[in-house]
Amino acid sequence: MLVATLALALSSFASLNALAGDLTGIRVSNSDGYSRVVMDLTSEAKNYTTNYNKETHVLTFLLKDTTNKMAKPIEQNTTKTGVLTGVGLQSKDSQLQLNLNANQDVNYNAFVLKNPNRLVVDLFSNYAQKTTKSISPNINLVRWNTNMKEGMVKAVAITADATVPFKVGVDANGKTLGQISQSYKVAIGAKGKGISFGDRSIAPGTTITSAKQLEGVASLRYNPQRGYSIVDKVPRVEGQTQKATLAVTSVDAPRVANSLILYTPSYGKNTGTNNYGYELTLKSNKVTSTGVGNSSIPSDGFVLSGHGTASTTLKAIKVGDTLTLKTTDELAQVSADGMTILQGGSIVLEDGRAVGKSNDGNKARTFVGTTKGRGLVILTIDKQEPQSVGVTSAEGAKLLADLGAVEGLELTNQGDVDIAVNKEMVNQSGAAPTLYEQILLLK
């Protein structure tokens, strides 16, 4: 039994001398394929290392300047079976070693909480399973249990080849999938009642002063002759100085060779780039600092990050110089004649490469992608912890690519969605059916 094992571990190892921080308690909670260990500390756990042995399934924490001052056995608040089988504590000099024994190969995620001080460890099964069921010769249902660094993830996907058209049902008052009267093979909630994907309507020559001006809506399009495609109506951005005009390659995307990326506060606190480039920090159209990589992004400014030829151009610009960001003509417009269109959200996958944000939090999300053969992939991921912790935009984009997509968008602000196959629910986003203003149908 887990309780006996934990109690024995505490009685076998004792610490006598109080140091900078004390371990005062350990609590364990379990669920299927998951265990959480919470360590109560008298000071913040700033200095610890971890090591995981895949052969023995033992995760070891070494907490420096910490001593064992636990006065009672380890607490458990559930009787469910998780992945944890035992805990061992051993003190040596000014260090406390914590061994977490698992009954299978696991992944883990450790993080620190304050007020009160805690070190939290989530252990979860490393098991992944993907099953595919044919709905028709051209449409498949995929159920996928996998995991990210933060925990387990449950996903449901629909794939269809380029010969399968879609239709969009619209009802301003909202309708559940169960209220659809017409026949279909697959129905997918595409836009929940009251959900906004954002809007991008900005004239060429507009000075960019806020990241909000660069937010926009991509769309899924279907043409019977060409299959599925994703189109993003994006304003091009230039940086203008007295001596040069700098063409921005992309906004809030990973920096690649010879690219010039504009980073906005929406991307996060830092650019996350390496030192093989050059960056300018901008505030109020002025260059305030320069650097080679991972620059801080000011809440009221931007960072221009260049690599290769683009970095050479940036190096000619000095602190104090004026640099104005402006929109130029929009990219070429694609005719919508003969197409079915579903307005979506932001682009997260380009040419098979994830460009979604990696620091926008683990959430329930839905993604729409197109394959190299012009087929369709729709992926929805819930967040019902601990069985599914959700994903970041970047993580979702990578899962979309694993399903064969090369281009992809996220249905921004939507969360996960209801999906029905032949009028039977295969994914429900909440306890009750959701009202949708737009529903995508595959027939």
Q: Is the pTM here over 0.85, yes or no?
A: no
3-state helix, strand, coil in the chain (%, to 5): 10, 50, 40
322 CB neighbour count, 10 Å cutoff: 13
Render each residue's pLDDT in the chain as its tens digit; 443 residues: 343 344 434 333 333 333 347 899 999 998 888 899 999 999 888 888 999 999 999 999 999 889 899 988 888 876 677 899 999 999 887 889 999 999 999 989 899 999 999 999 999 888 788 999 999 999 999 999 888 888 889 999 999 999 999 999 899 899 999 999 888 999 999 999 988 776 555 677 888 888 777 766 788 999 898 899 998 766 778 999 988 899 998 888 888 889 999 998 877 889 999 999 999 999 999 999 999 999 999 999 999 999 999 999 899 999 999 999 998 865 434 444 455 788 788 889 988 999 878 888 899 999 999 999 999 999 999 998 778 889 999 999 999 999 999 999 999 889 999 999 999 999 999 888 899 999 999 98
| Residue 263 · residue 208 · CB < 8 Å | no
Which residues have CB under 8 Å from 278's CB, separation 6+?
290, 291, 292, 305, 306, 311, 312, 314, 315
| Residue 73 · residue 109 · CB < 8 Å | no
Q: Which amino acid is at 380?
A: T
Output DSSP code: residue 304. E
| Residue 283 · residue 241 · CB < 8 Å | no
Residue with tokens 């696991």: 106
119 CB neighbour count, 10 Å cutoff: 22
| CA 267/CA 271 separation, integer angstroms | 7
102 CB neighbour count, 10 Å cutoff: 22
